[in-house]
């Protein structure tokens, strides 16, 4: 493993209102460059969320998890990149044709497109119910290979899968890892967690951190502590 890997912090902007979200971004200030905009905020406020972040010099992971026919997904990626998304995600289970179309759209833009493999809310029983007999881990690996073969940038993955994916997919495959908890911070509903430093050592390119920053009385300091761990 390369010890020189740079692991960046993405703060998940999981807040219901735009003014709240932007007040948080302004409060965190220069410490955090990357923000994840998810379906809650985007569905309510649309591209304005992204524009406001870009106006503040931020980079945006547009977490839309697109999953549709290839043409629709490719066009959605073009739109996402046009409004300023720097990283955009799709469901890898959309299949090779959809991933190939996503990769083609990605190459026309400056954005990176990553695949979501198996949602962490899916266990063996949930997979079986939709006709998949593979274990979650086997399914993650299968989908990661589809993502890599299509030429997409990488995947969103859990801390638990990170070492396996780094080993199987090589050093260049982008890994974006949620479920991160600095030492001493409540795990909340996250079960398979890593500290920022452990994620860096396991080969994460990006860690996604929500509540440990948003719920801290001093969010800028919480972010600074995480960055210190990553340094």
User: Which residues are catalytic, by number?
Assistant: 65
Q: Applying CB under 6 A, which of residues 61, 190, 195, 222 lies at the interface with ligand C5P?
A: 190
Q: Is 38 in the site for ligand C5P (CB under 6 A)?
A: yes
In this structure, the dihedral spanned by the alpha carbons of residues 89, 37, 86 and 200, taken in order and rounded to 10 degrees, is -80
Q: Is 182 in the site for ligand C5P (CB under 6 A)?
A: no
Cα distance between residue 216 and residue 11, in whole Å: 13
Backbone angles phi, psi at 11, to 5 degrees: -95, 125
Q: Is 21 in the site for ligand C5P (CB under 6 A)?
A: no
Q: Is 158 in the site for ligand C5P (CB under 6 A)?
A: yes
Q: Is 104 in the site for ligand C5P (CB under 6 A)?
A: no
CB of 69 to ligand C5P, least distance (A): 24
User: Between vectors from CA 69 to CA 112 and to CA 12, what angle results, nearest 5°?
Assistant: 40
Cα distance between residue 32 and residue 35, in whole Å: 8
Taking the least distance from each CB to ligand C5P, the nearer of 38 and 70 is 38
Q: Applying CB under 6 A, which of residues 115, 136, 148, 178 lies at the interface with ligand C5P?
A: 178
Q: Applying CB under 6 A, which of residues 37, 114, 208, 223 lies at the interface with ligand C5P?
A: 208
Q: Is 65 in the site for ligand C5P (CB under 6 A)?
A: no
Question: 112-116 and 87-91: which strand pairing?
Answer: parallel
Locate the DSSP E strands across the chain. 8-12, 34-37, 59-66, 87-91, 112-116, 154-156, 174-177, 206-209
- Stretch of residues binding ligand C5P (CB under 6 A), selected from 92-100, 129-137, 208-216, 217-225: 208-216
Count, residues near ligand C5P per rule CB under 6 A: 15
Backbone angles phi, psi at 53, to 5 degrees: -70, -45
The contact set with ligand C5P (CB under 6 A) reads: 12, 14, 38, 120, 156, 158, 178-179, 188, 190, 208-212
């Amino acid at each position: 493993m390369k010890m020189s890997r740079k692991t960046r912090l993405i703060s998940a902007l999981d807040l219901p209102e735009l003014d709240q979200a932007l007040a948080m971004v302004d409060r965190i200030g220069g410490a955090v460059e990357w923000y994840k905009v998810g379906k809650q905020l985007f569905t309510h406020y649309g591209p304005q969320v992204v524009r406001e972040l870009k106006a503040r010099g931020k980079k945006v992971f547009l977490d839309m998890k697109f999953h549709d026919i290839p043409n629709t997904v490719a066009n959605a990626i073009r739109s996402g990149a046009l409004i300023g998304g720097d990283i955009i995600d799709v469901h890898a289970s959309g299949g090779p044709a959809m991933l190939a179309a996503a990769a083609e759209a990605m190459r026309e833009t400056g954005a990176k497109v990553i695949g979501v493999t198996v949602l962490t809310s899916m266990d063996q029983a949930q997979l079986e119910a939709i006709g998949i007999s593979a274990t979650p881990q086997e399914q993650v690996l299968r989908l990661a290979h589809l993502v890599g073969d299509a030429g997409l940038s990488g995947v969103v993955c859990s801390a638990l899968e990170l070492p396996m994916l780094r080993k199987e997919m090589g050093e260049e495959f982008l890994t974006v890892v949620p479920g991160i908890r600095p030492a001493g911070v409540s795990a909340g509903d996250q079960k398979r967690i890593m500290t920022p430093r452990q994620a860096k050592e396991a080969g994460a390119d990006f860690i996604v951190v929500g509540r440990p920053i948003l719920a801290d009385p001093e969010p800028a300091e919480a972010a600074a502590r995480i960055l210190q761990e990553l340094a």
